[in-house]
Chains A and B, each alone.
Chain A
Amino acid sequence: MSTAPRLTALDALHRSLGATMTDFAGWDMPLRYASERDEHNAVRTRAGLFDLSHMGEITVTGPAAAAFLNFALVGNIGTVAVGRARYTMICAENGGILDDLIVYRLGETEYMVVANAGNAQIVLDALTARAEGFDAEVRDDRDAYALLAVQGPESPAILAAVTDADLDGLKYYAGLPGTVAGVPALIARTGYTGEDGFELFVAPEHAEQLWKALTEAGASRGLIPCGLSCRDTLRLEAGMPLYGHELTTALTPFDAGLGRVVKFEKEGDFVGRKALEAAAERAETAPPRKLVGLVAEGRRVPRAGFSVVAGGQVIGEVTSGAPSPTLGKPIAMAYVDAAHATPGAEGVGVDIRGSHEPYEVVALPFYKRQK
């Protein structure tokens, strides 16, 4: 099936900035504007501006909204306070991960679920089906929002220049409605880069005005536009999983080392509970493979799908790999047999087009910002 790519509200602006565009989950998105390494380093040291309008927003409202989300998702959404957010997952009945999500509690009975672009329809369909019997409404708001992100150590100062909102009072994983550059926005202190930063949900018709105001406010602080290429290396360094790579329907949250997002203690049943209880026990007693970090000793870059080897045997598979601008070496995330998953494990390598290149097994993340 071939369909025309979807364009964000900022499409013309990206092209005027000379962006190299790429297809991502059916959207035509900026891959990079100039050097992706410069963009990566800008986010680590100053600030970067991203268009993330491909992300899928789904609004859930109604008296039973919290009870419904507790049933539909693996996290304990009922304990999220108004104005706060939670990283969570939606699983199939067999425990397989359908998507990882951020849920923002916007009001007493109003939540916004943000899904990955490639899974937004799946999540929407699953939520709609699971809402049956609950006094809650699931609304597709994908077209209601553009999403811009300002990420990096300078981002609080840049955003403060264009809003009166109380950013100091806005903690990590919190979100509040406000006005930014004269337009109404949901201001969230979230991101996918390992840096401090903000995500701004606005009406698509306001996206350009907001982008331009942030660009202007950030010019003296080193803010540059950033594409998906550096977003990927930033999240990889920060050890953050990417759906389709570290997370798939074939894995449970426990397999991915993210069992902590599953809250068995919450009230009532939830989709996948039984399978996930078994997965939790398996992970405790006989873990099959574990997600680890790999750091290259050489300069050849491991890519998703490459085999991890030890003693001539395949012991795992790379899920994401890239040259790390911060470490100055190739890095990867990989699932490896538990016997080889301890940091410092001897003799581990990656099969790079037939040659076994030595790699060091390390704990994730590769990079953690100094607070």
Chain B
Amino acid sequence: MSNPQQLRYSKEHEWLSAVEDGVATIGITEYAANALGDVVYAQLPEVGDTVTAGETCGELESTKSVSDLYSPVTGEVTEANQDVVDDPSLVNSAPFEGGWLFKVRVAQEPEDLLSADEYTAFSGN
């Protein structure tokens, strides 16, 4: 598995895309998706919600467990991925693409995110 170079990563195993027109896309990494197992339910933040870097903003439920979803960035949610709500298995099959979770209008650039290489070293994958 490889972590896309153009993304940045949190130690809670979320990824953050490059900011375009002030908005960044957020998802969980393939490593996290594999660790969870089949995701069966995604509770995502709603459009208009304010999310704070490092704080929980939703949950992902898999066969064996439920995991809190952390936002890697502070800002206002502009979109939640309805495809994932309808078919949570997208998180497993395409965590870096169709399985993205939500978009945020970034209020504050995060400073402590990892590069792809740093995250690969951190997660061991």
Contact residues of A with B, CB < 8 Å? 20, 31-32, 35-37, 229, 233, 299-301, 303, 322-323, 330, 353
Q: Tell me, in angstroms, the Cα distance from A299 to B66 when the chains sit together.
A: 12
Q: Is there contact, CB below 8 Å, between A37 and B61? A: no
The answer, among B38, B41, B65, for a CB contact under 8 Å with A299, is B41
Q: Tell me, in angstroms, the Cα distance from A303 to B63 when the chains sit together.
A: 10
Which A residues touch B34, using CB under 8 A? 20
Q: Is there contact, CB below 8 Å, between A301 and B41? A: yes
Nearest neighbor of B65 in chain A, beta-carbon distance: A303
Known: A20-B34, A37-B38, A229-B37. A300 touches B61 (CB 8 A): yes
Which A residues touch B64, using CB under 8 A? 31, 229, 322
Nearest neighbor of B61 in chain A, beta-carbon distance: A301
Which A residues touch B41, using CB under 8 A? 299-301, 323
**Interface residue count on the B side (C-beta < 8 Å):** 13
Tell whether B40 is near chain A: CB-to-CB under 8 Å.
yes
Which B residues touch A322, using CB under 8 A? 63-64
Q: Tell me, in angstroms, the Cα distance from A9 to B40 when the chains sit together.
A: 33
Q: Tell me, in angstroms, the Cα distance from A233 to B64 when the chains sit together.
A: 9
Within residues 17 to 68 of chain B, which ones have a CB less than 8 A from any CB in chain A?
A: 34, 37-38, 40-41, 43, 61, 63-66
Nearest neighbor of B68 in chain A, beta-carbon distance: A353
Q: Is there contact, CB below 8 Å, between A35 and B38? A: yes
Nearest neighbor of B34 in chain A, beta-carbon distance: A20
Q: Given contacts A35-B38, A323-B40, could you give 20 more A-B pairs where the C-beta distance is less than 8 Å?
A: A20-B34, A20-B37, A31-B64, A35-B92, A36-B37, A36-B38, A36-B63, A37-B38, A37-B63, A229-B63, A229-B64, A299-B40, A299-B61, A300-B43, A300-B61, A301-B66, A303-B65, A322-B63, A322-B64, A330-B40
Which B residues touch A300, using CB under 8 A? 41, 43, 61
Nearest neighbor of B41 in chain A, beta-carbon distance: A299
B43 smallest CB distance to A (angstroms): 8
A353 smallest CB distance to B (angstroms): 8
Q: Is there contact, CB below 8 Å, between A301 and B37? A: no
Q: Tell me, in angstroms, the Cα distance from A37 to B40 when the chains sit together.
A: 10
Q: Is there contact, CB below 8 Å, between A301 and B38? A: no
A-B contacts, CB under 8 A, total:
39
Q: Mark B48-92, 1 if CB is under 8 A from A, else 0.
A: 000000000000010111100000000000000000000001001
Can you report 18 residue pairs joining A to B where beta carbons are below 8 Å apart? A20-B37, A31-B37, A35-B37, A35-B92, A36-B63, A37-B38, A37-B63, A299-B40, A299-B61, A300-B41, A300-B61, A301-B40, A301-B61, A301-B66, A322-B63, A323-B38, A323-B61, A330-B40
Which A residues touch B65, using CB under 8 A? 303
Which B residues touch A323, using CB under 8 A? 38, 40-41, 61, 63
Of the candidates B34, B61, B63, the one having the most CB atoms from chain A within 10 angstroms of its own CB is: B63
Q: Tell me, in angstroms, the Cα distance from A36 to B64 when the chains sit together.
A: 10
Known: A300-B61, A301-B61, A323-B61. A32 touches B37 (CB 8 A): yes
A39 smallest CB distance to B (angstroms): 10
Q: Is there contact, CB below 8 Å, between A233 and B61? A: no
B33 smallest CB distance to A (angstroms): 11
Q: Tell me, in angstroms, the Cα distance from A362 to B34 when the chains sit together.
A: 33
Which A residues touch B43, using CB under 8 A? 300
Q: Tell me, in angstroms, the Cα distance from A220 to B72 when the chains sit together.
A: 46
Q: Tell me, in angstroms, the Cα distance from A20 to B125 when the chains sit together.
A: 14
B62 smallest CB distance to A (angstroms): 8
A295 smallest CB distance to B (angstroms): 15
Q: Is there contact, CB below 8 Å, between B66 and A303? A: yes
Q: Tell me, in angstroms, the Cα distance from A20 to B38 when the chains sit together.
A: 13
Q: Tell me, in angstroms, the Cα distance from A330 to B61 when the chains sit together.
A: 11
A330 smallest CB distance to B (angstroms): 8
Which A residues touch B89, using CB under 8 A? 37
Nearest neighbor of A298 in chain B, beta-carbon distance: B41
Which B residues touch A353, using CB under 8 A? 66
Nearest neighbor of B42 in chain A, beta-carbon distance: A299
Which B residues touch A299, using CB under 8 A? 40-41, 61
Q: Tell me, in angstroms, the Cα distance from A183 to B63 when the chains sit together.
A: 36
Q: Tell me, in angstroms, the Cα distance from A353 to B92 when the chains sit together.
A: 24
